[in-house]
Amino acid sequence: MAWLFCVMRRETLKANIGRPDGFAIEHRISGDLILLTADQFLDLVNVTFANELEPYPRMWRSWRRGCRAYLKTFRHLAMPGGRIDRRSAENYVADKT
Protein backbone atom coordinates (compact mmCIF):
# COMPACT_ATOMS: atom_id res chain seq x y z
CA MET A 1 0.00 0.00 0.00
CA ALA A 2 2.81 2.41 0.86
CA TRP A 3 4.42 1.81 -2.53
CA LEU A 4 1.13 2.44 -4.35
CA PHE A 5 0.58 5.65 -2.40
CA CYS A 6 4.08 6.89 -3.17
CA VAL A 7 4.06 6.20 -6.90
CA MET A 8 0.52 7.26 -7.82
CA ARG A 9 -0.35 10.48 -9.57
CA ARG A 10 -2.78 11.94 -7.02
CA GLU A 11 -5.34 13.12 -9.57
CA THR A 12 -5.74 9.59 -10.93
CA LEU A 13 -7.05 8.40 -7.56
CA LYS A 14 -9.87 10.93 -7.82
CA ALA A 15 -10.76 9.64 -11.30
CA ASN A 16 -11.96 6.38 -9.71
CA ILE A 17 -14.81 7.95 -7.76
CA GLY A 18 -18.17 6.57 -8.82
CA ARG A 19 -16.78 3.52 -10.59
CA PRO A 20 -18.24 0.17 -9.56
CA ASP A 21 -15.03 -1.57 -10.71
CA GLY A 22 -12.05 -1.05 -13.01
CA PHE A 23 -10.07 0.94 -10.43
CA ALA A 24 -6.65 2.13 -11.51
CA ILE A 25 -4.02 4.74 -10.80
CA GLU A 26 -1.21 6.03 -12.95
CA HIS A 27 2.44 5.60 -11.99
CA ARG A 28 3.73 9.15 -11.57
CA ILE A 29 7.07 8.46 -13.24
CA SER A 30 6.49 5.80 -15.88
CA GLY A 31 2.89 6.68 -16.71
CA ASP A 32 1.94 3.01 -16.52
CA LEU A 33 -1.56 2.14 -15.41
CA ILE A 34 -1.69 0.19 -12.15
CA LEU A 35 -4.88 -1.78 -11.65
CA LEU A 36 -6.44 -1.80 -8.18
CA THR A 37 -8.99 -3.90 -6.39
CA ALA A 38 -11.89 -2.08 -4.72
CA ASP A 39 -10.24 -2.70 -1.35
CA GLN A 40 -6.94 -1.21 -2.54
CA PHE A 41 -8.78 1.86 -3.83
CA LEU A 42 -10.53 2.37 -0.48
CA ASP A 43 -7.26 1.79 1.38
CA LEU A 44 -5.60 4.47 -0.75
CA VAL A 45 -8.45 6.86 0.08
CA ASN A 46 -7.88 6.25 3.78
CA VAL A 47 -4.10 6.62 3.48
CA THR A 48 -4.73 9.89 1.64
CA PHE A 49 -6.86 11.13 4.56
CA ALA A 50 -4.21 10.12 7.09
CA ASN A 51 -1.49 11.77 5.03
CA GLU A 52 -3.42 15.05 4.77
CA LEU A 53 -4.80 15.17 8.31
CA GLU A 54 -1.58 14.36 10.17
CA PRO A 55 0.05 17.73 9.36
CA TYR A 56 -3.28 19.63 9.38
CA PRO A 57 -2.69 21.45 12.70
CA ARG A 58 0.62 22.81 11.38
CA MET A 59 -0.68 23.92 7.97
CA TRP A 60 -1.10 27.53 6.99
CA ARG A 61 -4.77 28.53 6.70
CA SER A 62 -4.60 28.66 2.91
CA TRP A 63 -3.24 25.12 2.86
CA ARG A 64 -5.98 23.99 5.23
CA ARG A 65 -8.61 25.25 2.80
CA GLY A 66 -6.96 23.35 -0.03
CA CYS A 67 -6.66 20.25 2.14
CA ARG A 68 -10.36 20.33 3.05
CA ALA A 69 -11.37 20.89 -0.58
CA TYR A 70 -9.22 17.98 -1.76
CA LEU A 71 -10.50 15.61 0.93
CA LYS A 72 -14.13 16.63 0.46
CA THR A 73 -14.10 14.72 -2.82
CA PHE A 74 -13.28 11.47 -0.99
CA ARG A 75 -15.14 12.12 2.27
CA HIS A 76 -18.03 9.72 1.60
CA LEU A 77 -15.53 6.91 0.95
CA ALA A 78 -13.33 7.38 4.00
CA MET A 79 -13.48 5.42 7.21
CA PRO A 80 -15.82 7.11 9.73
CA GLY A 81 -12.93 8.47 11.79
CA GLY A 82 -11.54 10.24 8.75
CA ARG A 83 -14.75 11.94 7.69
CA ILE A 84 -13.74 15.30 8.96
CA ASP A 85 -15.73 18.43 8.20
CA ARG A 86 -14.60 22.03 8.46
CA ARG A 87 -15.94 22.58 11.97
CA SER A 88 -14.31 19.40 13.26
CA ALA A 89 -11.04 20.30 11.59
CA GLU A 90 -11.01 23.79 13.05
CA ASN A 91 -11.91 22.46 16.51
CA TYR A 92 -9.09 19.93 16.20
CA VAL A 93 -6.65 22.70 15.40
CA ALA A 94 -7.96 24.85 18.26
CA ASP A 95 -7.50 21.96 20.71
CA LYS A 96 -3.88 21.49 19.61
CA THR A 97 -2.82 25.14 19.98
Q: What is the pLDDT of residues 77-91, one digit of tens each?
A: 887 766 655 555 555
- pLDDT tens by residue, 5-56: 999 999 999 999 999 999 999 999 999 999 999 999 999 999 998 888 888 8
User: Model-level pTM?
Assistant: 0.78
**Burial of residue 84 (number of CB atoms within 10 Å: 0-12, 13-18, 19+):** buried
Q: Give every CB contact of residue 70 below 8 A, 6+ residues apart in sequence.
A: 52
DSSP lists the bridge partners of residue 54 as none
